[in-house]
Structure 1
Amino acid sequence: MTAKGTFDTANWTPQPPFDDRDGVTLGLVTLDKAWHGDLTGTSVVTMLIATTPVETSRSYVALERFEGTLDGRTGSFVVQHDARGDGGEQSVSVRVVADSATGELRGLRGEIGIAIAPDGTHSYTFDYTL
């Protein structure tokens, strides 16, 4: 099955870097999301990020807990992010953590694709099984 929609981010809260040397910074950021469309609800993201002197070369890993509804089914689940930029080439993987879903979403598996429009709008396509 496929769910589609948009999401907004808010409350970006960076912590002071825990390692900062030779132009490479390691830090922690938390943020909130509001999901709209087939996936409706809220989530909290905890992200570890690495930045380099090259603006387009950076990386992050994150865990995110969603609470709300997916195509009318209520529950929660956790996703794991793995994203990297390499001199302008970007890749991101956002996958449901196995057996993390609760309520009517128990058994959920899947991957979320994210796109960012030139105006900054974030959209998603969630390919999943239940």
Structure 2
Amino acid sequence: MDIVETLTCRFTLSAATPIDLPGVVGGWASGLAMHKTFTSGLSGQSDLIFLTSGEEETGRGYVAVERIDGTLDDGRSGAFTVHHGAMQTPDDSGQFGNIVPGSGTGDFARFAGSASIQHDDDGPFFVLSLIAS
């Protein structure tokens, strides 16, 4: 599939609240309910559920389901869902992410493609590679 548009959407983490994970005994996994504020490329917010296991120093993995709602710099607006995660070791970020096809509303109704979280000196941001759907 051909990429038809790439969006760069900067965000800050606004809240992270621990959540109970029924059936998880011994602390081998943990969860957070998070809220992000998008500040550039997309103005808006997101809510997500974040599940993780392992240790940052030796290796950990995470998976997240995130609902993003906002307005792009060009005025298009709506909401869509992203599934993303990583298998992180000291030598490899091993990340993955996808926009859930059919999850979009408004101007984002046809959004589909990949999603990756990257970091630079200015902080974290999503790179959304949209494909024709």
- The interval holding the TM-score normalised by the smaller chain is 0.7 to 0.9
1:116-127 alignment to 2 at 5 Å?
116-117=119-120, 121-127=123-129
Question: Residues 56 and 116 of structure 1: is their aligned pair in 2 closer, same or farther, counting only changes over 3 Å?
Answer: farther
Partner of 1:26: 29
In structure 1, what residue type is equivalent to 2:11?
A: F
Q: 1:118 offset after TM fit, Å? A: 5.2
SS of equivalent residue, structure 1 residue 99: coil
CA distance in 1, matches of 2:15, 2:43: 19
Partner of 1:10: 14
SS of equivalent residue, structure 2 residue 36: strand
Deviating runs (4+, > 6 A) in structure 1? none
Percent sequence identity over aligned pairs: 28
The yes-or-no answer on 1:94 pairing with 2:90 is no
SS of equivalent residue, structure 1 residue 112: strand
Partner of 1:40: 43
Q: 1:89 offset after TM fit, Å? A: 1.4
Q: 1:59 offset after TM fit, Å? A: 0.5
Q: 1:20 offset after TM fit, Å? A: 2.1
Q: Which runs of 5+ in 2 are unaligned?
A: none
- The number of aligned residues is 125
Q: Which runs of 5+ in 1 are unaligned?
A: none
Give the structure with the larger strand fraction: 1
Using CA pairs under 8 Å that are at least 6 residues apart, name the structure with larger relative contact order, 1 or 2. 2
Q: 1:95 offset after TM fit, Å? A: 1.0
SS of equivalent residue, structure 2 residue 107: helix
1:66-81 alignment to 2 at 5 Å?
66-70=68-72, 71-81=74-84
The answer as to whether partners of 1:16 and 1:28 remain within 8 angstroms in 2 is yes
SS of equivalent residue, structure 1 residue 107: coil
Given the two structures, how large is their TM-score scaled by the length of structure 2?
0.81
In structure 1, what residue type is equivalent to 2:15?
A: N
The answer as to whether partners of 1:26 and 1:49 remain within 8 angstroms in 2 is yes
The answer as to whether partners of 1:51 and 1:58 remain within 8 angstroms in 2 is yes
